[in-house]
Structure 1
Amino acid sequence: MPSFAQNFAVRGYVRDANNGEVLIGATVSVPQLGLGTSTNEEGVFTISLPEGEYALKASYIGYTSFSRDIRVTDGAQRINFTLDPVDTELKEVRVEAGGLRQKLNDTRMSVESLSSREAKLLPALFGEVDLVKTLQLKPGVQSGGEGTSGLYVRGGGPDQNLVLVDDALIYNPSHLFGFFSVFNPDAVKSVDLYKGGFPAQYGGRLSSVMDVKLNEGNNEKLTATGGLGLIASRLTLDGPIIKDKLTFTVSGRRTYVDIFTRQINRLSEGNADYDPIPDYHFYDLNGKLTYKAGKNDELSLSGYFGRDIFGFNDDKFKFNFDWGNTMGNLRWRHRFNNSLYATTSFYTSGYQYRINNAIDVFSAKLTSAVKDYTLKTDFDLFVKGGHSVKFGAMATRHHFIIGRLNFESDDSTQAFSTGTNLAGTEFGVYASDDYQVNAQLSLNYGLRLSGFSNNGKTYTALEPRIAAKYNLSESTSLKASYASMKQYVHLVSNSGASLPTDIWYPSTRGVEPQRSQQVAAGINKLFGRGRYLFTNEVYYKWMTNQLDFRDGANLFVNDNLQDEFLFGKGKSYGNEIYLEKVKGKTTGWLGYTLSWTYRKFDSENDLDDINEGRWFPTRYDRRHDISLVVLHQFNKRLSLTGTFVFGTGNAYSIPVARFIFQDVEGEDPSVIPIYQDRNSFRLAPYHRLDLSVVYKLKPKRGESDLTFSVYNVYNRRNPYFVYFEQVKDADRVETLGFQAKQVALFPLVPAITYNFKFR
């Protein structure tokens, strides 16, 4: 076993040979020593080696591997790699299993990595590729229901996910009431989802971190990438403005169902029996400029703007509803020397929704918003002896508009306004060390000091993090982690889903921050000559200060909303099993999750208890969750992809009995439902099969394909929700009982999409 006290650092970057973009998460290894590492978000790697001669190998999923013979001597060395994408004209896709070995050797655990190239191969609803839906096919990650893009990670809610786009926060990562995510796959380079073992640089949320990296732009030539789908089209342009100096990328996407529905409404004008179709569409724009100011400096300016617009207008009633995110980020990367790097960012990020109503002579406007201004800096320091140190700080100024309602008549004789404006400052300071102790053992440990100040009240917390990896052999490793997290802003909702009308609310004197602690342990096994990776992880997470509403709470018109909150605790635990294959004509993965998720709300005032203060399963508690993904390459032009999912039905509450209450004699009686335990019933199990066929075309320049997909192949009517309908007698007078009715959203949905990339 080599002594790391006498080791020397070898550093460099890994880039795409075609466009010069850095490859995040590429594996750099020395097979003869059984050592390896991966590139960071700048595409930079560092590995500590003893003096001697070695073959240094770089590999990345979807690229051909490359090895270089090096001689390690006294002092730091710099070795750079450029990798070629796998030739799409090969008879089969031969991808080196470097990605699997990277997962085996990575100190991090509970991390799912995804590239847009992989996501585009999978079948999708209406043919719209969605990175978040692809992540839902990984163990430990659940959707909120049929078609939705919300994430419920290891028992956490949708507000407990930290979503970062080029290090800038996005509050609501969904379009179409949660059915699609805001991420245009052509604009995204990679996505890392942390389910546990969070590195110390991340904070502010309890359950997961979704780190999205945007493309930087092709520094070699102008390219155009896009697609024409069933409900939306997208286009991305990128290329050099000043070769090897200044690059750009700009992406746009828009749905166009509203164009057809408006025409249908026009043609049906004058038909008294026709109910107009509401108007709906969404769009989003991504842009990024990257400027290499010199050998050691790089500036980038990235932005996002997206809106969902829903409206219904006729002579008597007008309803217009729009919501969306805005983000702008200026980032400076500086290399002091081969051992010290710094990244400094200033960004602004916000989310808002607006509802405009008009009935006869009255109009109402309801607005809620959050706006952030953030300054952060991160340093990467490589130290002799196998240490990679990361430290930094951040500060965010939050501004909140809480449910502002304005109501007035057309002549302004009747008017009132209500709502609350709040503000707060969040900060964090952290340091961590990724330490390669020896060829078998590596550690990542760190500490984060976080805090939040609002109206004279300040909360602070220490958040320790540690992860360890031990190699039992070249093909087997053990991993374990512990992480403590704090959350100072909260998404308050009177529904189980992440709807656009939900409100972000800060910690105050009466609303303490949420906290979670999670421990996890697992085993990783590489077998079949590196073709297969098996992982098995168990976890336990416990949470405090979880938020819910009192029964009958007023969410929208309330100047003191926090009086409606209830505070409780939660716990979640489970086992995640994962088998992945990334080499050969047939690739894919199989995931299985066995899990339990509970909440408990008991207070000094028994009237405020939920479920009489006893533990109850959350709506998204799902005992069994199975996902199977298979990709098969028939030849150089034709491939087939299939996904199958199965999950225990969501928990929900239904009345077990009803009684009749006669308030006023002669009036219809009121029917009062009687409930037992919270969420004590289950919807029917959810299962679905999707298929997709990709046929590559032969354009004169670039590449293109036709993708034929079928969502819900065997037309399973999966339940979205259940309601109860009164059963009347023959004369429609007396109520005989109540019958449960199930609502399903999507039957079999075929789609065709034309994708292209011209250069």
Structure 2
Amino acid sequence: MLAPAQTRARYTVSGYVRSGTDRSVLPGASVAVPALGTGVTADSTGLYSLVLPAGRHQLVISFIGYQSQTRDLNLTRTQRLSFSLPESANELGEVTVVGSGTLEQKLQTPQMSVERLTTKEARLLPALFGEVDLLKTLQLKPGVQNGGEGTSGLFVRGGSADQNLFLLDETVVYNPSHLFGLFSVFNPDAVQSVDLYKGGFPAQYGGRLSSVVDVKLREGDPQKYSVSGGLGLISSRLTVEGPIVKDKGSFIVSGRRTYFDVFTRQINKLNENTKGYDPIPDYYFYDFNAKANYKLGAKDQLFLTGYYGRDVFGFNSTNGFNFDFTWGNRVGALRWNHVFSPKLFVNTTVSATRYQYGIANKLDQFSFSLSSDIQDYALRTDFEYAPNDRHVFKAGATATSHRFGVGRLQAGSSDGSLNIGSDVTYQGQEASLYASDNFKATDKLQLEYGLRLTSFRSGTDIFGGVEPRASARYSLSSTTSLKASYAQMYQYVHLVTNSGASLPTDIWYPSRLNVKPQRSQQVATGVSFLLGQGKYLLTNEVYYKWARNQVDFRDGAQLFVNSDLDAEFLFGKGWAYGNELYLEKKQGRTTGWIGYTLAWTQRNFQPQRGTTGVNNGKDFFPTYDRRHNLTVVVLHQLSPRINLTGSFVYTSGAPTTLPGGRFLLQDIFGDNLDAVPIYPDRNTYRLAPYHRFDLGLVYKLKPRRGESDLTFSIYNAYNRRNPYFVYFDQVRDEQTDQITSYRARQVSLFPVIPSMTYNFKF
């Protein structure tokens, strides 16, 4: 007769959870033993490790959008056991964009303020121009604000756009946007999953203040070759994947390109002889993803990741003025995964990343170019050790070498009479060390706590920080949990942007001299309820964040090619607080969620360095402050082949600065009257509220070979003219032609936009 569970020998069962369709890993999949009330979630590589008492157990393996699997296990020794989950036959009606794993997992984990997406889920939602975008899907979550009409920038819990850490297979991506911010650089065909952390950050993440967006690429099918892609309104995609050696290694190669330029060039060609015709600027973007993996043995596996993307904007006028504007990312990473034992494994990653930005123009015989870039080389290692079913220890270190090309200027004439140049470059070294423990103290109380040590050196300037992290979950009952978290973060690199420029100016700048690291602290607490026999999850989170050494710039700052850029910075403090209410449903023919955020974000920059600061040292709301944010997403299965989706978004208007009046100024002769605007405090006005309703329909076709579907979407279905910016028009007297008043005019970007995309796989 077996002894009681607590005195029995204990063994570890571990392995991978993969998709039965293409053998890709399923990070966040659940492996549970309901009879013991225990279970684990697979990590980002699909690996799980579970310590159980000896004896017979029934394992339940599940992942959203896949059929759950039950496996009987007679555990008499430590062993490896992997699982392949088949896709749900009712897949359109089964999936929705939810947090990591099932609703029960989300209730029980100590981690709060985290969301997980997969491409399969995001494809069901309506999209602008039919182009699925993962960052825009994240904007439908509570606590995540969009930057306004037509942007994909994330503003998370009061943080600015540069305070988000974007990782692609453990490698930093500095600019995640295409098309001036309308789309992200993450090709949905190549992405396996996206994790968004809004708070309670695990100790392995650092370097930014507001959020972490951790993107994992697919590994490719190790058993058979396939080709997939899509034809859309503005772009096309193509993906090829298959085995390198069957069941031992695989690859995936994916690319996409827009074709605005194909049409605009033809239009320009047809009108090149038309008098007074202004050519349409040339614009396109493309990106390329590749990933390969190979098993060296039972305990070792290599992963190679590559990304290259580029945006190209060009203008060639009839008067000899030529203008070119380009930007893009390059990423490469090599990761080695080694399993020492079922309880201990390590990932080691060597990576390189580079972001480049450049402007070049030419007028007759004179040429001018301006550029900036940032380049990193990094080494990272992460250990995970699970000695028993109560502890999971993680530890690791990262070292990064930065090279900041703050500004390069080259100007000259074709005859050689003028040739000038300037180059401002800095070096920086960043290092971190972390350790954490996920501790199941009792059946009701689970803790995750850790410490991260960071340092940064630029020249002779050295900075350092201690970043404690902690989160806790206490189960009041099987359907109710209380959660709380705390995190301190440091940010050593800063994005210098000139919002007043007609084109964005992206310069990454290191902490040095007078430019101190940005720092934040965030506390959050919440309660979660499972309702309707587990069909619904209701969560309510309250957060407060303090930020120090926030960056702004003095009026008239010279941002490009400035060897003393430190003198242009102003530093202040900020704070943000709010309440996020979230209800989600994932079972039945109708799924979806409702999210509502009530939030405040403020900044303060006191007078400094001979300036009046910002807003004369008074508190002000930044442009991304939004008081109310409501999102409603509904996915309904009309039939096994047809899925109907809809989303509604409402946000308060963005703060802006508009003149409160004007006074007349005339010369000494009483002529030449000029109306000079009088500006009040910064951002005292708000634009009109933003709201939009989108509709989508996915129709699954029945080709003779492979699979395909048609995706229809209507963006801004009721044609709401949302504000992009406001300007003032002169109102003149019809008889005297004198200015009598000024009238505010609103500029909007997108009316109702229908689109269709054909997706295929064979």
Alignment TM-score, normalising by the size of structure 1: 0.96
Task: State the partner residue of 2:243.
Answer: 240
Cα distance, 1:663–1:419 mapped onto 2, change above 3 Å: farther
Pairwise CA distance, 1:361: 1.8
Q: Which residue of structure 2 lines up, in the alignment, with residue 87 of structure 1?
A: 89
For residues 326-348 of structure 1, the C-alpha deviation after alignment (integer angstroms, 9 at most, x for no partner) is 10111111111111111111111
Check 1:566–1:604 CA distance in 2 against 1; reply closer, same or farther (3 A cut). Answer: closer
Q: Is the Cα contact below 8 Å between 2:97 and 2:117 reproduced in 1?
A: no
Residues 730-755 of structure 1, C-alpha deviations (whole Å, 9 max, x = no match): 36753322221110000000001001
Work out which of the residue numbers 177, 180, 184 in structure 1 matches 2:180: 177
- Contact 1:646-1:686 within 8 A present in 2 as well: yes
Contact 1:696 1:706 in 2 (8 A): yes
Give the counterpart letter for 1:199 in structure 2. P
Question: How far off its partner does 1:397 sit?
Answer: 0.6
Matched, 1:538 2:542: yes
Q: 1:93 to 1:408 in 2, by over 3 A?
A: same
Distance 1:523 1:395 in 2: 38
* 1:151-300 alignment runs, 5 A limit: 151-300=154-303
> What is the rounded CA distance, in whole Å, between the counterparts of 2:8 and 2:198 in structure 1?
34
Query: CA 1:240–1:147 in structure 2 vs 1: closer, same or farther (change >3 Å)?
Result: same
Q: Kindly provide the amino acid, as one letter, of the partner of residue 711 in structure 1.
A: Y
Percent of paired sites with the same residue: 57
1:57-110: CA deviation from partner (whole Å, max 9, x where unpaired): 11000000011223455x64433222111125x895489996111211122110
State how 1:41-190 maps to structure 2 within 5 Å. Answer: 41-72=44-75, 76-88=78-90, 93=94, 99-190=102-193
**Paired position in structure 1 for 2:457:** 453
Distance 2:28 2:582 in 1: 20
Contact 2:157 2:210 (C-alpha < 8 Å) held by counterparts: yes
Alignment match, 1:366: 370
Q: Which secondary structure does the structure 1 equivalent of 2:611 belong to?
A: helix
- 1:514-533 alignment runs, 5 A limit: 514-533=518-537
**Quick one: distance in 2 between partners of 1:95 and 1:655?**
45
Corresponding residue SS for 2:268:
helix
In the alignment, does 2:349 pair up with 1:345? Answer: yes
Name the CA shift for 1:47/1:4 in 2 (closer, same or farther; >3 Å).
Answer: farther
Deviation by residue 1:352-402 (Cα, 9 ceiling, x = unmatched)? 111111112211001011011111111111113511111111111111111
Check conservation: 1:154, 1:195, Cα contact below 8 A: yes
Question: How many Å apart are 1:473 and its aligned residue?
Answer: 1.5
Equivalent residue for 1:591?
595
Deviation of 1:258 (Å): 0.9
Matches within 5 A, 1:566-585: 566-585=570-589
Conserved in 1, the CA contact under 8 Å of 2:64 and 2:95?
no
1:530 deviation in Å? 1.5
Q: Is the 8 A contact 1:597 1:618 kept in 2?
A: yes
Distance 1:14 1:591, change over 3 A: same
User: What is the alpha-carbon distance in structure 1 between the residues aligned to residue 279 and residue 698 of structure 2?
Assistant: 37
1:435 is matched with 439
Is 1:479 matched up with 2:483? yes
Give the distance between the partners of 2:95 and 2:294, measured in 1 at CA.
35
Structure 1 window deviating more from structure 2 (201-210 vs 736-745): it is: 736-745
User: How does 1:391-402 map onto structure 2 within 5 Å?
Assistant: 391-402=395-406
1:410 and 2:404 correspond: no
- CA RMSD of the aligned region, Å? 2.1
Structure 2 residue 328 is matched with structure 1 residue 355? no
Inter-partner Cα distance in structure 1 for 2:417 and 2:681: 49
Partners in 1 of 2:503 and 2:383 — Cα distance?
A: 37
Q: How does 1:301-380 map to 2 (within 5 A)?
A: 301-315=304-318, 316-380=320-384
Shift of 1:8: 4.7
Deviations 1:265-309 (A, max 9, x none): 100111113221110000000001111111111111111000000
Deviations 1:25-61 (A, max 9, x none): 0012222233232100121122343455332211000
Q: Spell out, residue by residue over 1:597-647, the C-alpha distance to the aligned partner (whole angstroms, 9 max, x if none).
A: 000001345733211212111101000000111011111111110000000
Q: Secondary structure at the match of 1:260?
A: helix
Give how far 1:658 is off.
2.0
Task: Say which of 473, 489, 494 aligns to 1:469.
Answer: 473
Alpha carbons 1:518, 1:542 under 8 Å: kept: yes
Query: For the residues of structure 1 that align with 2:666 and 2:564, how far apart are their CA atoms?
Result: 35
Distance 1:201 1:149 in 2: 26
Contact 1:94-1:585 at 8 Å conserved across structures: no
**Given residue 81 of structure 1, which amino acid in structure 2 is its aligned partner?**
F
- The structure-2 alpha-carbon separation of the partners of 1:81 and 1:614, relative to structure 1 and needing over 3 Å to count, comes to same
Letter in 1 for 2:431: F
- Does the CA contact (< 8 Å) of 2:8 and 2:54 recur in 1? no
- Alignment pair present for 1:28 and 2:31: yes
One-letter code aligned to 2:108: N
CA distance in structure 2 between the partners assigned to 1:359 and 1:273 by the alignment: 18
Aligned equivalents of 2:181 and 2:216: distance in 1? 21
CA distance in 1, matches of 2:7, 2:739: 80
Match of 1:12 in 2: 15
CA contact (8 A) 1:64 1:95 kept: no
* Rounded Cα–Cα distance in structure 1 between residues aligned with 2:167 and 2:615: 36
Contact 2:498 2:504 in 1 (8 A): no
CA distance in 1, matches of 2:443, 2:13: 16
Do the aligned partners of 1:125 and 1:147 also contact (CA within 8 Å) in 2? no
Runs of 4+ in structure 1 deviating by more than 6 angstroms, as ranges, are 94-97, 496-499
Q: Contact between 1:7 and 1:385, CA under 8 Å: does it hold in 2?
A: no
State the SS of the aligned residue for 1:620.
coil
Q: CA deviation at 1:437?
A: 1.6
The CA deviation string for residues 465-506 of structure 1, in whole angstroms up to 9 with x for no partner, is 011111112211111100000000000112189975221110
1:645, 1:689 within 8 Å by CA — same for their partners in 2? yes
Unaligned residue ranges in structure 1 (runs of 5+): none
1:190 CA displacement: 0.3
Aligned pair partner of 2:726 in 722, 726, 734: 722
Contact 1:237 1:250 in 2 (8 A): yes
Give aligned pairs, total: 756
Which one is further off, 661-670 or 358-367? Answer: 661-670
TM-score scaled to structure 2, two decimals? 0.96
Is the partner of 1:618 in helix, strand or coil?
coil
Q: Structure 1 CA distance, aligned partners of 2:334 and 2:97?
A: 36
Correspondence 1:741 to 2:739 = no
Label 1:710 to 1:234 Cα distance change in 2 as closer, same or farther (>3 A): same
Contact 1:601–1:610 (Cα < 8 Å) also in 2:
yes
Distance, in Å, in 1 between the alignment partners of 2:183 and 2:189 is 15
Distance 1:497 1:116, change over 3 A: farther
Q: Is the 8 A contact 1:158 1:498 kept in 2?
A: no
Instruction: Give the counterpart letter for 2:81 in structure 1.
Output: I
